[in-house]
Amino acid sequence: MNVAEVLATVASTLDVHGIPDHRLEAELLVGYVLGVSRARLYASLDEAVTDKQLQALDELVPLRVERRPLAYLLGHREFYSLDLLVSPAVMVPRPETETLVDRALQWAQAQGGRPLVVADVGTGSGAIAVTIALRFPSARVLAVDVSLQALSVAIANARRHGVAQRVSFVAGDLLEAVVGPLDLVLANLPYIPDADLDDLQAEVRVYEPRIALAGGRDGLDIIRRLLAQAGRVVRPGGLLLLEISPVQREAVLQEAAGAFPGAQIELVKDLGGWERVLAVQLSS
């Protein structure tokens, strides 16, 4: 079989099994096995596919049909134009989390270039921490996670992008192991109510780490604990940014106002128009 025939076969298989964007995913899977980019893939449609490569696809395609996330099969995912390593130990980075980074960069740029101490709490793959470290070389970045397996992925990504010397990796529960003072705290914590976990799509429900998803009875258990801890380590005038579910907006605003009376609190919309990020600017 040549590349064109293999592409058509893989795309058809994924389509039959209800995989969205089946053509794109076929291109990514075939390109991964052949070790070529999508552009190079289309320049080699008439080339033959080896038996070894076909065998690799025969192993990968059924896993995707079972709804194993494509990023886990490929071993990487793009975030903020960075190619990041991922594994089943971490959540797959998502586009909506880029809103969190956008807001952080906007605030950091307004600080006049002074060195900042930044904590990415629940760092997972290290997507946020690595992005901040790359964009602000003068910043000292702490990447915190309770999972040692997740931290190993974050360390690999920091090395991959040349910032491992400027990111400190901390094993601990939220901010308990962080001394401070911190200028900026970013966190994409679990915020899905436990009762809703079984309603998630199979890619998430079955394969992504439950510890990164489950937020307790109303989805805010972990966020409440972080808000309670943040006052101890965030300096006056510092900023706290949390990714949230848009349906939690009222409850989150109430929790933040209770934890930080007098703070400037706002919700930031993502590109889809959903209120995705809670921003808490502490009073000076």
What would the two tokens of residue 208 be? 């992504």
d(CA 276, CA 51): 47
**From first to last of its 284 residues, what are the pLDDT tens digits of the chain?**
899 999 999 999 999 999 999 999 999 999 999 999 888 999 989 999 999 999 999 999 999 999 999 999 999 999 999 999 999 999 999 999 999 999 999 999 999 878 999 999 999 999 999 999 999 999 999 999 999 999 999 999 999 999 999 999 999 999 999 988 999 999 999 999 999 999 999 999 999 999 999 999 999 999 999 999 999 999 999 999 999 999 999 999 999 999 999 899 999 999 999 999 999 999 88
List the domains of the chain with CATH numbers.
3-66 (1.10.8), 77-281 (3.40.50.150)
Listed residue (146, 161, 154, 82) closest to 125, CA to CA? 154
Listed residue (102, 103, 92, 152) closest to 127, CA to CA? 92
Give the SS3 label for residue 2: strand
pTM over 0.85: yes
Give the SS3 label for residue 279: strand
Contact residues for 39 (Cβ-Cβ < 8 A; gap 6+): none
Give the SS3 label for residue 277: strand
What would the two tokens of residue 203 be? 């890619």
- Run of H or E residues at 140: strand 140-145
For the chain, how many residues are written? 284
